[in-house]
Amino acid sequence: MTMNGTMTRLDTTTLAKALVGFDRMFDTFETRFANQLTTNYPPHNIIKTGEYTYTVEMAVAGFKRSEISVEVEQEILTVKGEKSGDSPSHHQFLHRGLSSRNFNRSWHLAEHMVVKGAEIQDGVLSVKLEYILPEDKKSRVIDIVEVK
């Protein structure tokens, strides 16, 4: 990525020839990162809270709990905020610093990443994630038997 925020395309042709099926992954990465650079609304943090745990924090000041949804489908975490439009229209804002626009943010989760829950406190939505590796994927020591 350059200093002005534009992405420089990396030629992955050579890697795609050596790694069967990875060409799709490279395209997905490029699309994902290009889309993430276009907006930072609402602002968010991604925090590693432990060896296998993470939290995505998102500023949602001005949104009610009922106006926010957190969904996971096919390893994609999506957080949506849709204002209900029931704010008093008879008010005249002299300054409007709290955004009221709708948003839709998505993150591709790693395989075996599980969403453990979500909570809102002080205008910050926290989505708890945990990496849970299945037993059959964990490393194991194989006993060597001596044959006589």
Which comes out higher in pLDDT, residue 44 or 2? 44
Question: How confident is the model over 64-75, as pLDDT tens digits?
Answer: 999 999 999 998
Strands (E), 28-112: 44-48, 53-59, 68-73, 76-81, 103-108
Give the CA angle between residues 72, 77, 81 to the nearest 5°: 100
Tokens of 42: 């609402």
Rounded to whole angstroms, the Cα distance separating 70 from 47 reads: 18
| CATH number for the domain running over 41-85+99-135 | 2.60.40.790
Question: How confident is the model over 109-143, as pLDDT tens digits?
Answer: 988 999 999 999 999 999 999 999 888 888 889 99
Domain extents in the chain? 1-38, 41-85+99-135
Cα 7 to Cα 36, 100, 106: the distances in Å are 11, 29, 19
Give the residues across from 117 on adjacent strands: 128
User: Model-level pTM greater than 0.85?
Assistant: no
- Tell me 142's DSSP state: P
Question: How confident is the model over 24-42, as pLDDT tens digits?
Answer: 666 666 655 555 555 688 9
